[in-house]
Structure 1
């Protein structure tokens, strides 16, 4: 039995689909089972609740061979350590109590870099990884920025022909599609011939700058789009406007500053950590349909 947390999120949904396609028994923890697709809902065992809560993970992890762990950011938390580490403690304790042998978690690039201890969300994610690694065999999917974050820019793409970010326009960094992260997680869960702790970088197929991304979006959507650099501090104000606590908003700015200072540049791309989905393919298959759905 493999337990999947956050099964309605982009990554978790892909993990569930691939495990079911492989014929694995799957149990999910979900707040609202109606958010699962009918085809999935009829094929999985459901534990209703939040994996932040001890009762839910204790019930879900009983008899489990492996767990996929994705801890969403909690904007209401006072700080990132609470959001990722403290909210994960019930899961860690349940893994230990039930003797779950393998856990695959969604994490981030940055371990070993000079800025890893002041990188906001990433710093807390790495601490979460360390917590799980004390009780079981653990693989941390070390991810860069998600291509899917571009979906947040649909309004400005259509309204102003603009995407934005804290990096210089020509600064190239890795990007990854969430569906490829889900694929990497499923492979580790299906082939559990591994022990101990290790990071598994998931880098995407190429490094891209903001200008590169804007050029691809322009070509795919057929409308002019440009990239604009914004101050990292502006992300803090934006997060506050979305209802984030001051601590969580500050952490977003800290992560952006750390990326500017090299957080995502500590791992060299190889054939083993490169993933298949290009940004052009993602824009064609994901962004364009999303834009078309709201385009006047």
Structure 2
């Protein structure tokens, strides 16, 4: 039995389908089953509730061979540590009490870099990884750079203004990955019962790109001019609070972006083992273009 937390998000939704395609037995932890992808509810076991609730995870983890762990940080949290470690700490005991065979979690690149200690969401994610690893449960933390899919947040300005914005440097090459490829890596590890201990698994995508190069690819795919505009950190933070982030969580996003500007995502060399297949151009054709064309 494989347990999937956050099964309605970009990664979890694809992961559930990948597992079902291999005839795996799947149990999901979900607050609202109506948000599951069509046809999924009939093929999985459902445990209602939040995976921050000890009673919920005690039920969900019972007899679990493997667990997929993803914390979708509450944008309104009082601070970033509460959003990650605070969410996870109440249920740590369940990993061992329920004799979970192995855990695969969503994490981030940056461990061991000079800026990892002040990288906002990344710093908090790495601290959460340590909590899980300290339980002794076999754990693989998928260490990711930025997601290609985050560009969807700016489909509106891309469509209306031909521009997308951010505090990131326009000319710094960095890795990025598609969520569908993250799901595929997670599915492989969840099905593999041969690994033990704790390790990080970088998932880098196939190439490093600058934001200016991303803009050129988007322009080509959409057949219209699109540019990237770097904005001051305080403007970015104000934009995040305007869309519902608490001040500490908006600051954590800015800290993460600034750490990426200082090389947070550039400390791991790309290899055949940590590269994934979906290029940014392919992702733009498959995902971004339909989203922009629908606006």
User: When the two structures are superposed, what TM-score results if normalisation uses the length of structure 2?
Assistant: 0.97
Measure how far apart 1:91 and its partner are: 3.1
Whole-Å separation in 1 of the counterparts to 2:37 and 2:15: 14
- Is 1:98 the counterpart of 2:98? The answer is yes
Matched-pair contact (CA < 8 Å) for 1:220–1:288: yes
Alignment of 1:276-291 (within 5 A): 276-291=277-292
Per-residue deviation, residues 232-252 of structure 1 (Å, max 9, x unmatched) = 332221221122222111111
Report SS of the residue matched to 2:159.
helix
Q: Could you say which residue in structure 1 is the equivalent of 2:22? A: 22
| Alignment-derived partner of residue 52 in structure 2 | 52
CA contact (8 A) 1:235 1:252 kept: no
**What are the ranges of 5 or more consecutive residues in structure 2 without an aligned counterpart?**
none
The answer on whether the counterparts of 1:78 and 1:247 sit within 8 Å (CA) in structure 2 is: yes
For 1:279 and 1:86, the matched residues in 2 are separated by 34
The aligned counterpart of 2:69 is 69
Q: What residue number does 1:200 align with?
A: 201
Deviation of 1:167 after TM superposition, in Å, equals 2.4
| Unaligned stretches of 5+ residues in structure 1 | none
Q: CA deviation at 1:148?
A: 0.3
The reply to whether residue 81 of structure 1 matches residue 67 of structure 2 is no
Q: Structure 1's 38 and 160: CA in aligned 2 closer, same or farther, altered over 3 A?
A: closer
Cα deviation, 1:55-86, whole Å, max 9, x if unaligned, reads 21111011111100000011121111100001
Q: Please state how far the C-alpha of 1:212 moved relative to its aligned partner.
A: 0.6
Give the number of aligned pairs: 294
In 1, Cα distance between equivalents of 2:238 and 2:179 = 26
- Tell which deviates more after alignment, 72-81 or 139-148: 72-81
Q: RMSD of the alignment, in Å?
A: 1.0
Tell me what 1:129 maps to.
129
Residues 23-62 of structure 1, C-alpha deviations (whole Å, 9 max, x = no match): 1110000111111123211100000111121221111011
Q: Write out the 4+ residue segments of structure 1 that deviate beyond 4 Å after TM superposition.
A: none
How far does residue 170 in structure 1 lie from its aligned partner after superposition?
Answer: 1.6
User: Within 2, Cα distance between the matches of 1:234 and 1:197?
Assistant: 39
Provide the residue aligned with 2:109 in structure 1: 109
Contact 1:143 1:201 in 2 (8 A): yes
Secondary structure of the structure 2 residue equivalent to 1:270 = coil
Cα contact 1:57–1:90 (8 A) shared by 2: no
Match of 1:223 in 2: 224
Partner of 1:233: 234
Counterpart of 1:251?
252
C-alpha deviations, 1:138-183, integer Å up to 9, x for none? Answer: 0000000000011011111111110122222221110100000011
Contact 1:218/1:224, CA 8 A, preserved across alignment: yes
Is residue 266 of structure 1 aligned with residue 267 of structure 2? yes
Q: 1:156-235 maps to which residues of 2 (within 5 A)?
A: 156-235=157-236
Q: Distance in 2 between matches of 1:276 and 1:201?
A: 14
Q: Distance in 1 between matches of 2:3 and 2:208?
A: 33
Superposed displacement of residue 264, structure 1: 0.4
User: 2-side partners of 1:37 and 1:256: how far apart?
Assistant: 32
Q: Are the counterparts in 1 of residues 13 and 37 from structure 2 also a CA contact under 8 Å?
A: no
Residue pair 2:181, 2:277 contacting (<8 A) in 1 also: yes
CA contact 1:164–1:210 (8 Å) conserved in 2: no
